[in-house]
Amino acid sequence: MSSSTIVVGVDGSESSVKALHWAVAQAKLTGDRVAAVIGWEYPATGWAGMMPGQVIPVDFDAEKLAGQILDDTLDKHLDPDTAASVERRVVDGPAAQVLLDNAEGASLLVVGDRGHSGVKAVLLGSVSANVAQHATCPVVVVRGETTAD
């Protein structure tokens, strides 16, 4: 059997960790490789956690931060041998487009769903909806736990 690649979107969120675990388990069944992908963009006006009026520091490195998030997530949530076997891709661009581009020719694209509780739980997040609609390979959206309000 020839080995192909399962691409998984990882951004450090709980839902992306679940997607990562699902992708790794699937790869063990199929013999595929896993490529964990994070997209980054230089913020136009600021980033989460900034106070109004704060300016982005001159030495702010969005690519380095994204790489650190990816490394930390894999190293924290996978055993060392598995983490070492996962290809890590840090790519400039909006998350959905980065995932779509990286999934070209892949056997599977796996993403998490930042689902909400209650009625909103039936809705996909914007990235997962976008990739599910536009990917050229099969897509798995790993749903998180949902609770009733």
**Domains annotated on the chain, with CATH:** 5-43+61-142 (3.40.50.620)
Amino acid at site 111: V
- pTM exceeds 0.85, yes or no: no
Residue for token pair 């913020």: 43
In the prediction, which pLDDT does 113 show?
86
Q: Which two tokens stand for residue 141?
A: 């959206």
Give residue 70's pLDDT.
Answer: 96
- pLDDT tens profile 45-70: 555 556 666 666 677 788 999 999 99
Res 41: pLDDT: 84
Both structure tokens of 38: 């994070």
Q: What is the mean pLDDT of residues 74-78?
A: 97
102: nearest Cα among 42, 39, 41: 39
Is it the case that residue 15 has pLDDT exceeding 70? yes
Task: Residue 41: name the closest of 87, 97, 88 by CA.
Answer: 97
CA dist 4 and 1 (Å) reads: 9
Residue 85, both tokens:
């076997």
pLDDT band at 143 (very low <50, low <70, confident <90, very high): confident
What is the largest distance, in Å, between two alpha-carbon atoms of the chain?
Answer: 56
pLDDT band at 114 (very low <50, low <70, confident <90, very high): confident
Query: Mean of the per-residue pLDDT values for the chain?
Result: 85
> pLDDT value at position 115?
38
CA-based nearest residue to 20, from 140, 145, 146: 140
